[in-house]
A and B are shown apart, each in its own frame.
Chain A
Amino acid sequence: MSTLVDDDLWSAVGDPTRRRMIDLLLADGDGTATSLSERLPVTRQAVAKHLAVLDRVGLVHASTAGRERRYRVDDEQLARAVRQLNAVGSAWDSRMDRIKRIAESIQRTNDENTRRTDEKNE
């Protein structure tokens, strides 16, 4: 793993309101800024802004139906976001394992050296 995750995608799903919106869209199949704002403690304007952020990173797609834009979750991009979140966690699992192996190997060498010195001094 080189550096990190896609910053934009990360900050898009890093927001609890936006995650709640994704949950609602997944549960309902689709939704509009109005329908989502009725079920969230935020204004329709705030929901519209959040939808724009999600749209920009490809997590949702809009279609125009009547007077309002109707949004659906992009399954593929959602799966990608989750993979990235998990990747950061598993990267730390392997780093911690490497830290453990290196430290234990140094400790064994130190102990061995101490033992030899003690034997010499006896």
Chain B
Amino acid sequence: MDTEYGAIEREIRIEAAPEVVFEVVSSPEHLKAWWPDEAEYAPIPGESGRIGFHQDGGRVAWEQFTVVDAEPPRMFAFRWTHAEGEDAAPGNSFLVTFELEPEGAGTVLRMTETGFRERGWSEAVVAQNYAEHVAGWDFFLSRLPAYAAKAAQ
């Protein structure tokens, strides 16, 4: 399971030029069409802003959003979920990186989101044998249905 490594990775082939895909993944107007309900930021490295998610009762849940890197049409990266007033950095936010690679007339878009393990990670010893952990996590996942069934009894 990819979350074992503290990262979510996705890849998709898009029948559109990298320039077009770059606009879609980086501009606040387009971002709103595929993710948050509100987006207020300039797609320039170092610029900070926020993205908002509409909640019941008309409230908006805002999350901080900082552009880390923008290299049109190859790469766009941002950090989000750091506390307001804090600078985005490893340990206080999630890092989303989009990499765009031209392929024929289209684009291969790769997304990586990291920071899941770094957040709240203090007392833990990071450096351990990954293979062992993967086995453990898979073991734990594969046993879930049995435990869920047992819990339901």
Residue numbers of A with Cβ under 8 A of B are 2-4, 7-8, 10-11, 14-20, 22-23, 26-27, 41-42, 46, 49-50, 73, 75-76, 78-79, 82, 85, 88-89, 92-93, 95-100, 102-104, 106-107, 110
Q: Please, which residue of chain B has its CB at the minimum distance from the CB of A100?
A: B14
User: How many angstroms from the CA of A54 to the CA of B150 in the assembled complex?
Assistant: 21
Number of A-B residue pairs at CB separation under 8 A = 125
Known: A3-B53, A88-B3, A98-B34. A82 touches B141 (CB 8 A): yes
Chain B residues with Cβ below 8 Å from A82 are 141, 144
Q: Give the contacts of B89-135 with A (CB-CB under 8 A).
A: 94, 107, 109, 111, 113, 116-117, 119-121, 123-125, 128, 132-133
- Nearest CB on A from B141, distance (A): 7
Q: Give the contacts of B1-59 with A (CB-CB under 8 A).
A: 1-3, 6, 8, 10, 12, 14-17, 20-21, 23-25, 30, 33-35, 53, 55
Per a CB cutoff under 8 Å, which of A8, A19, A50, A106 touches B16? A106
Residue tally, chain B, CB below 8 Å to A: 52
Other A-B pairs, 13, CB within 8 Å; known A78-B144, A104-B15: A2-B55, A10-B120, A14-B119, A14-B120, A16-B124, A18-B124, A19-B137, A88-B3, A89-B8, A92-B8, A98-B35, A100-B14, A107-B17
30 contacts between A and B (CB under 8 A): A2-B61, A3-B53, A3-B63, A4-B94, A11-B119, A14-B6, A14-B119, A14-B120, A16-B136, A18-B124, A19-B140, A20-B132, A22-B140, A73-B147, A75-B147, A75-B148, A78-B147, A79-B147, A89-B8, A92-B111, A92-B113, A96-B109, A98-B35, A99-B12, A99-B34, A100-B109, A102-B30, A104-B14, A107-B15, A107-B20
